Structures are given as structure tokens and as C-alpha cells.
Amino acid sequence: MLVQTISLQEDQSVTLTIYIQEPSEEMKHVQVKPGLLICPGGGYQFVSDREAEVVALEYLKEGYQCFVLHYSLNENATYPKPLLDAEKALRLIHENHQDWYVNPNKVAVIGFSAGAHLATMLATKGTIRPNALIVGYPAYYPIPEINYDFPFPSVDKHTPEAFIFHTYMDGFVPVKNALFLAEQYHQNNIPFEIHVFRDGGHGLSLGNHLVSNEPDFRVDTHYHHWIKLSIEWLDRVLKPFQ
């Protein structure tokens, strides 16, 4: 496997880490793979490790080439800077699709919390857009505690299908954020899938022991099902290996 971190801007903290599974003669039908751009959360103040490489590992084993974006933060996160970072990352995946063994027509984006906001902006406003969108506990409405107030995404006819997951008990980013996006998809007659799990606070990530950090982030085996559900959804939407 090729693992490499590429700087995207003069700001050396803005990077794209690539995880590329090189082809094997023993697995000829998967020489070229679908791609997944990952936007971790962190309130545009930091990039959470709990939603970065550990997430990539889940999709790598399902045959995806994965790319973790460290986008502009804090005083550098004024829009459209983070969106420009995401566009550059996605464009880089397209430009290097042959060297990275990626099908450029089957590249999804996944984001968590503020990273879900960025992923949604890429899918709705990007000059280049992904082929599918996955968002976990997305943050669209302002969050006074962290001075979070960025543009609202607006779904249009060019927006790809979406898989949305959240928890009803999220007290930091209310579930109305996920419902807001689902309603926009409904109004635009674009298919989506949404899962609102009963239990769990904000930022559960995978919800398993790898990312647990007591007492804030607990293991939740029911919530953990979102990963398998999202992969099954991608199989339907992207048809990644056909």
C-alpha cells in the first residue's frame, strides 16, 4: 500500500493523505477502485484523528482508495478557503486517477460534523463535485460555543445522492441539521437515505472501541451499524465494482 501526505497550499497544515492499494495480478477484477475523500470534523478549529485514518481503514478493506483531507482551520477557515481545499483535493484525485488506480467517475466524499458541512458544500457548491455524499452528524446551523457560522449548503439538480446519519440524543449538533439536508433532497427530488439512531452524543465517529474515549465517546454497537449501511448504500449508488 502507498501512503503519502501531499501539501495542498503554502500553509503546510493543509494536506491530503493518500491511501492507495496497488493492483495485484491475483485480483484482476479490482485493478481500478472507487475513491473516498474523507473530511474529518473539529469545528473548523482542528481536524479530528478519530474521524480520519480510522475511517479510511474501514473503507480500504471494502476496496476503496481513501484520501484524508486536512483543510484550512481557525483564522484561515473563512469561506471559501476550506471549500477551495476540498475542490483541489478532489481535482487532484481526478488528475492522478491512473497513477492512484481510481475510477474518477466513482469518487464519494464523507464528512463528520464541520467536515460534513464541508463535504456538503463540495457536493452542492463545488466547481468539481463528488459522485456520492455521506455525512455524519452534519453541522449546518450556527454553533455559538465555537463561533461556528458558515454558509448554508443548497441542494440543486447537480447534487449527488446522499447517505445521512445522526443521533437523536446529540446535544451539541441537533438532529435538525440532518433533517434540514434530508428536506432539501426531498424538495429537489434527489434520492437520499437517512438514519437517525436513538442514542449517542456528538462525535461518535465509528462508535467502536478504536475511537472510544471515556467518558465522552462511548462504544455503541447499534450506532456502529452506520458503516455497514453506508457501504451497502454505496454499492447501490456507485456500483463501485461494475
Q: What is the rounded average pLDDT for all residues in the chain? A: 94
Q: What crossing angle do the helices spanning 114-125 and 81-95 adopt, rounded to 10°?
A: 70
CA distances from 236 to 82, 204, 239, 241 (A): 30, 25, 6, 11
Task: Tell the burial category of 203 from Cβ atoms under 10 Å away from its Cβ (0-12, 13-18, 19+).
Answer: buried
- CA 20 to chain centroid, in Å, comes to 17
Which band of pLDDT confidence, cut at 50, 70 and 90, is reported for residue 213? confident
What the chain holds in terms of domains, given with CATH numbers, is: 2-237 (3.40.50.1820)
CB atoms < 10 A from the CB of 38, how many? 28
Query: Tell me, what's the pLDDT at 228?
Result: 98
Query: Tell me, what's the pLDDT at 218?
Result: 77
The region of weakest confidence among 19-33, 179-193, 208-222 is 208-222
Dist. CA 228–CA 231, nearest whole Å: 5
What is the percentage of the chain residues whose pLDDT exceeds 90? Answer: 86
Q: Which tens digits make up the pLDDT trace of 15-55?
A: 999 999 998 888 877 889 999 999 999 999 999 999 999 99
Task: Reduce the secondary structure of the chain to three states and give it as a string.
Answer: CEEEEEECCCCCCCEEEEEECCCCHHHHHHCCEEEEEEECCCCCCCCCHHHCHHHHHHHHCCCCEEEEEECCCHHHCCCCHHHHHHHHHHHHHHHCCCCCCEEEEEEEEEEECHHHHHHHHHHHHCCCCCCEEEEECCCCCCEHHHCECCCCCCCCCCCCCEEEEEECCCCCCCCHHHHHHHHHHHHCCCCEEEEEECCCCCCCCCCCCCCCECCCECCCCCHHHHHHHHHHHHHHHCCCCC
Q: Is residue 148's pLDDT more than 80?
A: no
Q: What is the pTM of this model?
A: 0.96
Query: Tell me, what's the pLDDT at 192?
Result: 98
The region of weakest confidence among 5-9, 27-31, 67-71, 159-163 is 27-31
Which band of pLDDT confidence, cut at 50, 70 and 90, is reported for residue 93? very high
Phi, psi (degrees; rounded to nearest 5) at 17: -100, 125
Query: Tell me, what's the pLDDT at 216?
Result: 64
Question: What are the b/e assignments for 15-36, b being 16+ CB within 10 Å?
Answer: bbbbbbbeeeeeeeeeebbbbb
Residue of higher predicted confidence among 144 and 134: 134
